[in-house]
Amino acid sequence: MIPEELKVNYNKSQKRKKIIESAAKLFSQKSYHEVMMEDIAKLSSIAKGTVYNYFNSKEELYFSIMKHRMEKLIFSLKDKIEEETSSIESLHSFVIHLYMFMMKYQSFFLIYQKESLKAEHELCTELVALEKEFRNLLEDIIATGKSESLFGKIEEDFAVDWILGGIYGAIRRGINNNYNEEKMISERENIFDFILHGLFSGFEKATIYPLIGKTIVITRTVEQSKDSIEIFKQLGANVVIFPTLDIVPPDNWREFDLIIKSKSKIHFLIFTSVHAVKMFMRRCEELTIMFNFENTKVVAVGNKTASICEKNNIPVNIIPQKFSSTGVIEELINYDLRNKLIFIPRSEIGREELPEGLKALGAEIKTAPVYNISLPSEHKIKESIEALNKTKPDLFIFTSPSTFENFLRIQKINDPAQYFNNYDIAAIGPTTKTAIENKNVRVNIISAEYTIDGLAKAIIEYYGSSLQCKK
């Protein structure tokens, strides 16, 4: 049962909120002097005397509205900006969030636009300080961008006035035209592009933001797509996340359980992906087994796989220079593998190059599925399909044969060669490249390093070369 005191406090909070919302609406429609406390009480459906229990005067109520919203705006802006890793991303978050905040609290925006902040009132002094803090957030972003040579030589105070003026003009247009959410999303990106162009004006954008103007479609797992987006956003690209894979447990754990419960010594444990590590640890926890890594050499294929091992307190002994089956074999050829047991937890559709290559070196190989790859559920890709249909990509990234095949299935593409005819295609390695080319689709970009970072470098080089050719 809810204590009576909590009920009373909640009711008071709700009444105060209702008074503020009603007052904000009236102050946004009329001048300060035209609004009477009686009007506020009537719109709130609260007795005038009760309104005075919460606010001593109309002036206090007016500035309380402003202060409350300004504090909320600044707090949320700081929260958004702190998550970003570059000045351009910080600017993007500032512009997008400010626009959406003001469109949500339109009454506040209309009051804010009329307020000169010159009244002789204690709360007004606080508002002046909040306004300065708000502007400083944007000034700091611009100053940092200039110091990193991302923005041109522009005076910060002037830039703040110019940027805020542009955003406020767009907000007023959105209010006047009663924009829906879809239109607001489009508008806010146009505003950002306009502002960014102005800050870039005067020097070569391609040298500091090499993929600016490019729209890239990334096809990976649901989780990996979210991780990969930041790499390309920081290079200036507009990114469309299009997950084509989902990671699920295997149909059964019988093979894995037999191996992990066996008393046979495992000399080498090879993790070929992040997913293999996560699902290996998940199943061990389900079985309440603490795997002893002391007498086992752990091979992690790729830096991200090694990193997830580290997070799970798995000691990594070997990271092959080449992140591929060939790279693992070239690394382990330096060891005497005769009669050594090597365990490879992997996907249910794992390829045989690695096990066969290690068998040839005399090793005893055991493999077991620890995850399966399936099509993402419809609700996970609905927004991605809509986003792809609304834009014209420059480049599609495929990181495995499965990402390519599943994309064809999801989009119901019967003639891949025709569909991809006007797009650039990037493949993360030769196996993926071959799978794509087997469908008569041209692959424009392939990375020497089989990672998303390596592919990003290859994409930058490709478009850099294209620009040079055009010149």
pLDDT digits (tens, 9 = 90+) for 284-321: 999 999 999 988 999 999 888 999 999 999 999 999 98
- Say if residue 470's pLDDT is above 50: no
Q: CATH 3.40.50.10090 occupies which residues in the chain?
A: 206-245+377-470, 259-320+327-371
Q: CATH 1.10.357.10 occupies which residues in the chain?
A: 56-200
Cα–Cα distance for residue pair 309/381, rounded to 1 Å: 29
Cα atoms in the Cβ-side hemisphere of radius 13 Å centred on 369:
16
Q: Which residue carries 């599609």 as its tokens?
A: 396
Q: At what angle do helices 87-104 and 106-114 cross, to 10 degrees?
A: 100
- Which 3 state secondary structure label does DSSP give 396? strand
Higher pLDDT, 91 or 450: 91
- Say if residue 150's pLDDT is above 60: yes
- Architecture label for domain 259-320+327-371: 3-Layer(aba) Sandwich (3.40)
| Helix then strand then coil, % of the chain, to nearest 5 | 60, 10, 30
Q: Could you tell me the pTM of the whole model?
A: 0.48
Q: What's the start-to-end Cα distance of the chain, in Å?
A: 75
- Architecture label for domain 56-200: Orthogonal Bundle (1.10)
pLDDT digits (tens, 9 = 90+) for 66-115: 888 888 899 999 988 887 877 888 899 999 999 999 998 888 888 777 66
The answer to whether 405 touches 435, Cβ cutoff 8 Å, is yes
- Architecture label for domain 206-245+377-470: 3-Layer(aba) Sandwich (3.40)
The answer to whether 340 touches 267, Cβ cutoff 8 Å, is yes
Q: How does residue 322 score in pLDDT terms, banded at 50, 70 and 90?
A: confident
- Say if residue 212's pLDDT is above 90: no
pLDDT digits (tens, 9 = 90+) for 31-42: 666 778 887 888
What are the tokens at 462? 């490709």
